[in-house]
Structure 1
Amino acid sequence: MASFPLQVPILDGANYNNWKFRISVLLEREQASHVLTTDPPSHEKKTERADFLKLDSKAKAIIIQGLKDKHLDIVKTCNTAKLMMEALKGVFARDSGFSKLNLWRQLMNLKFDPATRLEDHFMAFDSIIQNLKELGTEMKDSDKVCHLLLTLPEQFNNVITALATVADVNMDFCKARLLDQELTFINKQCESGGGNEEVSFRASDSGCFICGDKTHFKRQCPRFKRNRRGRGRGGRRGFRNNNSCYQSDSTKVNNAEVSLVALNSCSTSQFDGNDMFLIDSGCTSHLVKEELELYMNDIDQLDHEVTIQIANGSKMSAKKRGKLRIFCQGTYVNIQALIVPGLKHNLLSVGQLTSKGHTIMINRQCLKIRGNDFELSCDHEHGLYVLKFSTSGVQNCSSAQTNSNLWHQRLGHLGRDGLRQLKLPVAEELCRPCVEGKTTRQPFYKNEKRSRKIGELVYSDICGPINPPTFDGHRYFQVILDDCSHFVLVRLLKNKSEAEEHLRTFIRETETQFDVKIKRLRLDNGGEFSSSSFKKFAQEKGLKLEYTMPYSSQMNGKAERMNRTLLNMIRVKIIDAGIPKKLWGEALKCSVYELNRSPTSTLEKGQTPSLLWNGYSELSKLRVFGCQAWYSQLPRRSKLDPRANSAMMIGYCGGGYRLWIRDDEKIIRSRDVVFQENIMVYKVLNSEQVFDHEDTSVKNQERNIEETSPSPDPKKTPTKDEKQPNGATGNVKPVDSNILPKRDVKKPAHLKDYHLYQAFCYLVTGEEPSTYEEASQNHEWKSAIDRELESHQKLQTWTPENLPDGEVPIDTRWIFKNKEDGTKKARLVARGFQEPFEEGGEFAYAPVCRMQTVRILLSIAAQNDWPIKQFDVPTAFLNGFLDHDVYIKKPQGLEC
């Protein structure tokens, strides 16, 4: 028995299953298939081990011959053929859940294309079924039939109905019936399509069922006609003209490719010119005469000689292929054609034109070839369609190209569409000045669909710096936006470097609190998100980082649009409430809280971002930003003290509200709040200041009136320090218009104290740090801190102790002040308000004297002419004695 040569298939990645099957068959032929499933015998069995290793080496050689160079690294470290196949399986085998899901999606979306044949459709269907079987999903024969019938269009309904009445239908019987129905359709089309006056040939037509050529149907097929010659009376004779050709199946003659052409009988005299093409529907390639070789470019020598067979039995050969550039009907067209010595006519193949996507329209008068940027008309002469082109245009191809560029320049670098409308030549080469002067950015199409799951895509961006900063020094804010729910979170930042840590915290909180894993992060191209540590964090979490291109913020458009929306809401709140701009941070937080509870166009009706993210969305807590608020005062000092204080509503917190105390410039949180939403705090206070100013002017005018002029005393306008009902404003009685106004009183010259004004400006403009971290960076403030700590150590203000069980330590705080003499003063104070209140007990912290008391004391001393002395206590902790132990936390900067 003769053996055939061993041909090893090549693995390209996509054909792994077929490649694996071929390799297993080859190994079975070599009787070495068992090495893929068993391990080598032990060393004690020397004979069996030697035989096994011999077959294993042969198997490894076959496997390596079937791999490309780029895939050899996968198996270089494998010692046996079994390990090699396992390594290749780990890389190329599609046995994941996603692969199975993708195959089921392909099966559900598979539909029969009428432009193809049923056999091709069956092959695609069987391929999906086989892949599912290899992944462990084997379908019953009846289920396969049902899935196959679901992929067919309505024209097969009759067959589907007939198959539904047959019991136990298998795949072979189903396919046979469907193929018979397809053959019936093709025969009906051929019989009904003979009288059409106009035919449209396209690359997607069903074509001939006999030879498979898509340029004609069965009734025009030369092979079908040749097989019927001589049958019956009146059978047609063969073509007798020497220039006639016929088309047959592709064959091999002396190992050379055969290109077959078809041409009707014609007279050769009027078509012998070099400046015309004959349109041939049976020609498989464009063919040109040898005389046109001088005008062709990119001429290549063919690897194998192409043979052209004529109808009379003679043969012609082509050894070269080139590109012919013709000028026809104001358009340049490139034609890739075979150069055939001895050819009498230039032939243009309909099959080649349709394969390139061109459309051919045929009627009795002409034939039109329509491409993407041209349309050519072919005249009908003596039963043939002829395309004439300019011989001078071919001979002067380079000059024509130059002329096309010349017209392009003459018309001010007019575009190609404009040149075609003017019937002027169009150059295919790129115009460099046009590229440099007219290049625009590509449009940002909205082709990305919204995510279907929370956390699937998250946007983040930073906005700022914003001037002025907030009262606690924040200049930026970071937006974190979920693409699915449109839920947004914001973080206030002092520096951009804080954004990375906030994003890490958001990812961890989302995983722990909501059991949602972030999959993709869309970030801008700034340096705050591109550090190596953040990339390593994303890699550990399995996150995919998507950075925008430089100067292309539109790619992160949703986050940018959210920045604009939030800034608009902040501006409106500041204008409406009349608050200082330094409170923009609180307005931002309040805006985000309201925005998450508002509907958006991206969500379905009735849904809000908070409802999708948190599972609830309530509106009962919402109040007007900047309105009057009264909060309960806790703890209460005495029975007669007020039970509520005035504040301004600036935001929300867990279980309560955030309130702004204007006089103290601090924020408190409270759950027991009463609101007056029709009163805006800052607008009322500003109006009171205006009334106070007007009242002062009236008083000055009254004071300047002569004593002899009788006039009632103006009604006093209450100031903001006086107690009034909420919302009351003073009424100013206008000055009597009969009294002539006095001239303006100027300030005396001796009050223009420049030195006093300079000292006041110094006190106002002096910068004082608010935290220990800021003060420690300046050596003068650091020296003040050291002096304060040394003073406490000398006075033995505290002793280091371990905190007993049940005791609550009190925190400390650093206060920094610029004194009038320019020195820096740092004081360490204890936050005594943190000490728990005990009934009947006393507070450990010292009371603070009110400024009113100090002023009264100074007034009494001045009235009685008492001497006044001022003492400077170097430390804030006075030398007092406590009746119980008080524990404080370790102050910042203290080294024990």
Structure 2
Amino acid sequence: GRVPSEERAEERKKWIRGDSKAKALIGLSLSDEHLEHVRDVDTAHEMWEAIVNVFERHTLLNKLAARREFYTVKMLSGEKVLAYINRVKQLAAILKSMSVNIDDKEMAMAVLNGLPARFEALIVALDALGNEEKIFSLDFVKSRLLQEEQRANMKSSSSQTSALVNRAPNNRDINDYKCTNCDSACTAHITYDRSLFATYEPLESASVQMGTKASAKVAGRGDVHLKLNVNGRIEPCKLTDVLHVPDFAFSLLSVSRMTELGLKVGFENGKCMIRRGSTVVATATLVGELYVLDIVSDIGSAHAATLQTWHERFAHVHSQVKLLGNEANKINNTDNDCISEKCSACVYGKATRSVIPKERSSRRAYFCLDLVHSDVCGPLEVQSIGGAKYFITFIDDHSNWSVVYPIHHKSEAFERYKMFAQLAQTHTGRKIKVLRTDRGGEYLSTEFKSFLIANGTQHQMTTAYTPEQNGVAERLNRTLVNLVRSMLAHKKVTKGFWAEALANAVYVRNRVTSRAIPPKMTPYHLWMKSVPNVGHLRVFGSKCWYTLPKHNIQKLDARAKEAMFLGYAENTKAYKLWDGDLHKVIVSRDVTFDESTGGKSGEPMDTNEEEETIDPPTNLRRSTRIRKTPGAWQYCKSIGCRFECCNSIGLLLSTYMQSCW
């Protein structure tokens, strides 16, 4: 409508807002080239009038084009009846908008005129009714077409049962890899052979239904080129939109698809004749109960050969030669009894090792020390600050508790095992029942064997060159080295501190959960029978400061010194630090951390690790008077007793005696 006058301001504002929305919707619906038609208009109404004048002008040419499209409409291949009738109705609506009278009878005639050849029987049946007023009702035609479509679908399902499920006669020609059977119930051309396609389009979720109500996956579709034997003439043939169904046993040629293309198919005297007009373009021969398309084989001149010969011709390729060999035998009528199940050349050339199962081959140990895994890792590319280039691991199968010792040489493995065995036995009160290792020489010495026998420990060893059988220890080595590598890289610590990073990794690993043990449990729970404390954990390699002892500093000296955090002391509640200036390992409990920054590592000057304990002594204020010690203390002093308890007692007694005198 028109724009309201300025006197009606509120109504005018509302109209302008609605008009703007309508213009925006129309503009968004037009393509770029069509926007030129509405560029100079002001209102939505003018935009709509401009579009109507361009696309729906009631000119003679527009009416002729619409009529031609309406009366020549055809049902598309694979189109459903309802979709086709709705398309006809849309064309009729366009004509009605041009003031062309299209009644119900005209639409029914247009629908019948565009039906494919498979509906000819229905048209003949409608004509036999003789009641044109009833016949030429669109609703009546639509109902009959829907019934015919449903009947055809049911017939197709039952026919496909015989075409796809029943066994073919025992004839080698029917199983030819180029064999294509003419099927009057199939609604599409189908083949199982991927190599026949000249063009190919993969399909993701397509399927075809068989007569048993089962469905088969359609892998793709494309064009297939064949050479046909037409009464002795070799004629090329192109089949379009052929479905690739690998699970089918035969290739099927759809009779309904051929009739839709205007071909005529007839069956007489054991032959199927396919004609275009009066010209025969293809023939099929009755073989058993099926009509097989007469195709020229590309390899029909090949000499007869056994499956073993085909296997050898194709360079002993197993998976592909089996298929190609079978096809070659069918073409040349070879004897399937000549198949060799074992090719000695393939055994010599393709022998592989047996697959190692991913699952555990045995149950997890019920108690601690029932089974212990061990392995030696190394040599590493650099020595530790203690001079080690290897490390040996021990892991308890029940608790997953791990113990690691850095070693200088592999020959130290026996001494480290004795240390671990004694430590574990003292802690758990049990002896190691089974030790599982690889066949490294460090585990096969005479003294090692004698020690295991003396302690009743069974030694399980892997097969030669099969480290996978010692997978628990091997996986522990990999985990620890990964952790060491990550910690060194995080704070840019030099590689010489790998042993300290390794000790830190084992310390933390024993206090975290693992898939190898029950949920919400850690190795510390199962080995120590208590809950681990992780509140004291700090970032490896971070900067820190340790407090200096008072007796070593002056009044104005700094009270702390910078160091780098290395880990946790073994037998003391303290931290291990590295003093880069002194090149020493410092053990101290009074430490301040800056975990966001890396510490100063420096390069170790030697490979002998030294530890210095920072523990300020207790300085007692003593009297300047001359003290006389009692007789008991004189005795201890005369025999050179240095026990701290005696020193303390003597000092107390002496002080007490002096005060009494």
Q: TM-score range by the shorter chain?
A: 0.3 to 0.5
With the length of structure 2 as denominator, give the TM-score of the two structures: 0.42
With the length of structure 1 as denominator, give the TM-score of the two structures: 0.31
User: Relative contact order (alpha carbons < 8 A, sep ≥ 6): 1 or 2 greater?
Assistant: 2
